[in-house]
């Protein structure tokens, strides 16, 4: 594959709801440009961009894939992004490095939750955007209705540049509005159907009126009644796309390979190159901001937007070079990790097929292998001109599962495998719960986590078991009591004697632990007081009720006694532990459950259903506000953690995957009797199984 200048490159992300045909469009374009020698299909598991075994098995895209196309002297880097919501991190990464976005829509389903979300991501990145209405060959499809709905939802900027022609409900060909020509479905130019002639002209005029808004001189000329030449229109049209003044709408039936050539030509002619997108902004070593041109001779600035770990090749880093040129066997600087790296092999990937490259120039996308310190989101620059560019804000992963090696023999491998799982997918978070001792893996949904574990098994040979994580309950005392702790043991020689009196009750500082020494007159020597407290601390790790940690205690030691020979720190430590156990029995143990604070963002029409769902989860609605940007409702609520294990699924189900939420810990409060009974029974069961 030859090396291209930035002006001859198009970096295009295909995005949209799951199942709309993004991969099929990529497949048709790759086949038509002879990038591949067969027309693969998702159902057959042989497409160029869905090559991972997990994707073939599920018949959906699960990860971002790169398919570079060479066409009419330019290079088009197609970024096929997943439509399934669990893999939003891949979509956002693609949007960060693309120079334009094509959002694919199913003609029957129309605009769905995935359409809205990907359009929002394109908007956040200020990406020139076009729509493709796909599957126009489907029965019961209504192209006109789908088009009008897109216009209603995304505004007058949506402008069709084609009109599909149907005769007796059968697709026959396409009207090219831009050039006012007609092409039959076999690609031959023909006479414009008479019934579409007037419609084509009106659509062209609307398109022209929208496009010329970018040029005051041409607009003034048009308003003055002068005719606008086709060359003037085309100049304005390309500029209007780049400035997001026009969102062109195209049509295709990808499985029949209808429309792929016109999509390809549209990208070639109208979608912006990296140079068209303007200067790049970066942060210098002194934290000041700088801008520079997309120039192969400029300072090196490249962003790693995806990392793949291959058990044979090692780490593969996909990069977008904003400026400068990456060359083999050169030293570069990782601004994010503050480490020097040596560039090894450079390559591009057509799906999983590796194509060697001599260099990767400004504006292009490629891959580096075997970098030591570099991970997704890192910036690479020259060692003597250190630069840093922004990375994406990843959504909070609210789906959480407990992770454990399936085989005991694999437990020792966890330390090396878990970091590799995170390298492959930066939206995965792995943490350890100090209260339950579990390893917790966090993702965007159950499918996300299951796929990550399947990949780990295939790549690293370790099988994991995912289970519902244990809830970090706590225990405390209900009322203040006074108790005696005495440890006495005589077995020949020196004995053991420790004796203390404690007042134990709920802390007046919430979950804080308080210990006060009120010993007067030397009834217990000072050196033994810390031992009593140590015994209490160790005993607080496991409560009397269900074995959960004890919190929220105020303890006062006020009396006791000692033996000049038999007393020791160990004896007083035992006395403190004995006293605490007595106190919990006498004062009554309470189970505390964690309460989470939720900010639920939801379209107004789903608000009632979400509130009803929160009521079934023992939730409390604290307040409701309006999201000023989206116009959605933001429901501020509290609910027990043990009721929220499948809340992400419930929110997606209720809102058609439009809603989302942020969740964080709020406080602990006393659990109701039903929950206490269930937790105690489970604790006993776990203890029996452990024997």
What confidence tens digit (pLDDT) does each residue in 562-621 have?
A: 999 899 999 999 999 999 999 999 999 999 999 999 999 999 999 999 999 999 999 999
Rounded Cα distance, 131 and 151, in Å: 11
pLDDT value for 383: 87
- DSSP code string of 419-447: HHHHHH-TT-EEEE-TTT--EEEEESSHH
pLDDT computed for residue 185 by the predictor? 82
Distance of CA 472 to the CA centre of its chain: 25
> Looking at the whole model, is its pTM more than 0.75?
yes
By CB atoms closer than 10 A (0-12, 13-18, 19+), residue 368 is buried
For 294-363, the DSSP string reads --TTS--EEEEEEEEEETTTEEEEEEEEEESEEETT-EEEETTTTEEEE---EEEEETTEEEEESEEETT
Query: What pLDDT, on the 0 to 100 scale, is given for residue 379?
Result: 95
Q: Which helix (H) or strand (E) holds 599?
A: strand 589-602
H or E element: which one contains 76? strand 74-80
Q: Please state, for a pLDDT cut of 70, what percent of the chain lies above it.
A: 99
Cα–Cα distance measured from residue 338 to residue 113, given in angstroms and rounded to the nearest whole number? 40
Helices 194-211 and 230-242, interaxial angle, to 10°?
60
Counting Cα atoms < 13 Å in the Cβ hemisphere of 591 gives 21
Q: What local confidence, expressed as pLDDT, does residue 440 receive? A: 93
What are the structural domains of the chain?
A: 6-207+245-270 (3.40.50.300), 280-388 (2.40.30.10), 399-467 (3.30.70.870), 474-587 (3.30.230.10), 591-675 (3.30.70.240)
Order of strands, sheet of 365-369, starting from the edge strand that comes earlier in the sequence: 339-342, 331-334, 379-381, 301-310, 314-323, 365-369, 346-350, 353-357
Interatomic CA distance for residues 115 and 111, integer angstroms: 5
Residues of the chain with pLDDT under 70: 492-493, 510-511, 629, 690-691
Is the CB of residue 347 less than 8 Å from the CB of residue 330?
A: no
Q: Cα–chain-centroid distance for residue 564?
A: 65
- Residue 63: the pLDDT is 86
Question: Would you say 490 and 470 are in contact if contact means Cβ atoms under 8 Å apart?
Answer: no
């Amino acid at each position: 594959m030859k090396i291209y200048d930035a002006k001859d490159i198009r970096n295009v992300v295909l995005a949209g709801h799951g199942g709309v045909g993004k991969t099929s469009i990529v497949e048709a374009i790759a086949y038509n440009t002879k990038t591949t020698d067969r027309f693969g299909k998702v159902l057959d598991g042989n497409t160029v961009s869905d090559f991972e075994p997990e994707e073939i098995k599920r018949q959906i895209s699960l990860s971002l894939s790169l398919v570079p196309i060479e066409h009419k002297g330019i290079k088009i880097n197609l970024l096929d992004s997943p439509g399934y919501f669990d893999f939003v991190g891949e979509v956002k990464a693609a949007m960060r490095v693309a120079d334009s976005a094509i959002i694919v829509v199913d003609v029957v389903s129309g605009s769905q939750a995935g359409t809205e979300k990907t359009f929002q991501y394109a908007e956040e990145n200020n990406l020139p955007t076009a729509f493709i209405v796909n599957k126009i060959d489907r029965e019961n499809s209504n192209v006109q209705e789908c088009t009008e709905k897109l216009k209603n939802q995304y505004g007058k900027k949506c402008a069709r540049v084609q009109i599909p022609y149907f005769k007796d409900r059968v697709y026959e060909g396409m009207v090219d509005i831009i050039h006012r020509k007609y092409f039959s479905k076999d690609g031959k130019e023909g006479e414009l159907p008479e019934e579409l002639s007037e419609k084509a002209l009106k659509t062209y005029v609307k398109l022209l009126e929208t496009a010329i808004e970018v040029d005051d001189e041409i607009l003034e000329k048009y308003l003055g009644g002068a005719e606008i030449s086709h060359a003037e229109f085309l100049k304005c049209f390309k500029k209007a796309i780049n400035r997001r003044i026009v969102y062109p709408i195209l049509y295709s039936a990808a499985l029949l390979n209808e429309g792929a050539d016109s999509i390809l030509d549209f990208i070639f002619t109208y979608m912006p190159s990296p140079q068209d997108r303007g200067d790049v902004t970066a942060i210098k070593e002194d934290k000041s901001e700088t801008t520079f041109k997309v120039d192969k001779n400029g300072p090196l600035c490249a962003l790693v937007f995806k990392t793949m770990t291959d058990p044979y090749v090692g780490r593969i880093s996909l990069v977008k070079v904003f400026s400068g040129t990456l060359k083999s066997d050169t030293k570069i600087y990782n601004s994010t990790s503050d480490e020097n790296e040596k560039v090894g092999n450079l390559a591009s990937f057509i799906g999983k097929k590796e194509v060697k490259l001599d260099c990767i120039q400004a504006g292009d996308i490629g891959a580096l292998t075997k970098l030591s310190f570099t991970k997704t989101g890192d910036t690479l620059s020259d060692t003597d001109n250190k630069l840093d560019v922004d990375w994406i804000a990843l959504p909070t992963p609210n789906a959480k599962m407990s992770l454990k090696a399936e085989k005991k023999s694999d437990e020792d491998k966890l330390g090396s495998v878990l970091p590799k799982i995170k390298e492959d997918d930066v939206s995965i978070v792995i943490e350890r719960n100090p209260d339950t001792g579990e390893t917790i893996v966090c993702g965007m949904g159950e499918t996300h986590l299951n796929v990550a574990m399947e990949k780990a098994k295939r790549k690293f040979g370790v099988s994991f078991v995912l289970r519902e994580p244990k809830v970090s309950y706590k225990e405390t005392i209900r009322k203040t009591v006074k108790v005696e702790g005495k440890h006495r043991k005589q077995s020949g020689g020196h004995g053991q004697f420790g004796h203390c009196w404690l007042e134990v009750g709920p802390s007046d500082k919430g979950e804080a632990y308080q210990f006060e020494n009120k010993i007067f007159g030397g009834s217990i020597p000072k050196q033994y007081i810390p031992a009593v407290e140590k015994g209490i601390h160790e005993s607080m790790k496991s409560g009397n009720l269900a074995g959960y940690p004890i919190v929220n205690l105020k303890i006062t030691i006020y009396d006791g006694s000692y033996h000049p020979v038999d007393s020791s720190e160990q004896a007083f430590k035992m006395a403190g532990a004995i006293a605490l156990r007595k106190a919990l029995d006498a004062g009554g143990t309470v189970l505390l459950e964690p309460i989470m604070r939720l900010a639920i963002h939801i379209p107004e029409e789903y608000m009632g259903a979400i509130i009803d769902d929160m009521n079934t989860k023992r939730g409390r609605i604290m307040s409701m506000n309006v999201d000023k940007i989206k116009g959605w409702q933001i429901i501020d609520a509290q609910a027990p953690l043990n009721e929220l294990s499948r809340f992400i699924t419930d929110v997606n189900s209720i809102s058609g995957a439009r809603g989302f939420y942020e969740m964080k810990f709020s406080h602990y409060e006393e659990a109701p009797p039903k929950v206490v009974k269930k937790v105690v029974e489970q604790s006993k069961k776990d203890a029996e199984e452990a024997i």
